[in-house]
Amino acid sequence: MRVVLDRVSKTYADRHGHAVHALDDVSATVASEEFVALLGPSGCGKSTLLNIVAGLLEPSRGVVYFEGTATMTASGINRHPTAMVFQEFALFPWRTVQKNVEFGLEEAGMAAGERAREARRFIELTGLAGFEGKYPHQLSGGMRQRVGIARALAVDPAVLLMDEPFSALDAQTRQLMQEELLAIWERTRKTIVYVTHNIHEAVYMADRVIVLSRRPGRVLAEIVIELKRPRTEAMLGEPAFVRAAEQIWGLIKDQAREAVSE
């Protein structure tokens, strides 16, 4: 199954009623089992793009479609083939870990017993075993995002959308979570679209990095990362890693500077 973004543009009105061009004519394709990073400086519309793919925002022009997919669930409900992991976690504070992970399955109409079993699998996969009965406010940031990831994986999405999932975490936790996500990816081979503004993160994790420009967001370059899988920390020093990181930084440096002085 492929995700195709066909000439997507997004214009919205800001508080003063001025038109803001967030995305301009963005086209891209994400292949099955591919890990793609969407990278750009702040204000490049990368989160906007992700929300459009998730069906949470309407593009002003252009379309997004999924090619070659069966989106019917067992209960016959036409299901959106994506699941989202949010930067601010967006867990339901009134639901325990178990119930948060079950949410998407509940909406898909899965029976309670089966739901609990499914959720259980992903709770174990994400290292949350033993925390099923906890509420989100009782968990650390890293554990909360594990819940976010488990909740998304549980609905077995064709595409996993991740919106700067680890940027709210401290540096050490972020590093560990990146490794864990890579390990999960090795096991599940989910198609992932991963939004980030962190070049090292993008290069370390993705097969391909799509670099977006600042407002309006346009595709500046698509850079294929020539690192083997599974990725290890040792690769952070490899010439292929450094080259890709430098190339990307060269592309967005001036724009990042612009963003700072705004």
Interacting residue ranges for other proteins, rule: CB under 8 A: 54-56, 77, 79-80, 82-84, 86, 88, 90, 92-95, 103-104, 107-108, 135-138, 151, 155
The conformation of residue 233, written as its DSSP 8-state character, comes to G
Q: What is the smallest separation between the CB atom of 77 and other proteins, expressed in angstroms?
A: 8
What lies within 8 Å, CB to CB, of 106 at 6+ separation is 115
Q: What is the smallest separation between the CB atom of 155 and other proteins, expressed in angstroms?
A: 7
Minimum CB distance to other proteins smaller for 95 or for 243: 95
DSSP string, 121-187: HHHHHTT-TT-TT--GGGS-HHHHHHHHHHHHHHT--SEEEEESTTTTS-HHHHHHHHHHHHHHHHH
Minimum CB distance to other proteins smaller for 100 or for 213: 100
C-beta of residue 78 within 8 angstroms of C-beta of residue 250:
no
What lies within 8 Å, CB to CB, of 211 at 6+ separation is 39, 40, 219, 220, 221, 222, 223, 248, 251, 252
Q: What is the smallest separation between the CB atom of 201 and other proteins, expressed in angstroms?
A: 22
Q: What is the smallest separation between the CB atom of 204 and other proteins, expressed in angstroms?
A: 26
ω before 239 within 30° of 0 (cis)?
no
Minimum CB distance to other proteins smaller for 53 or for 251: 53
Q: What is the smallest separation between the CB atom of 68 and other proteins, expressed in angstroms?
A: 21
Minimum CB distance to other proteins smaller for 55 or for 250: 55
> Residue for token digits 């975490």?
169
Q: What is the smallest separation between the CB atom of 156 and other proteins, expressed in angstroms?
A: 12
Please measure the distance between the N-terminal and C-terminal CA atoms of the chain and give it in whole angstroms.
40
Which residues, in sequence order, are bridge partners of residue 209?
A: 37, 223
Minimum CB distance to other proteins smaller for 109 or for 230: 109
Please give the structure tokens belonging to residue 24.
Answer: 């301009």
Minimum CB distance to other proteins smaller for 57 or for 256: 57
Which residues, in sequence order, are bridge partners of residue 63?
A: 6
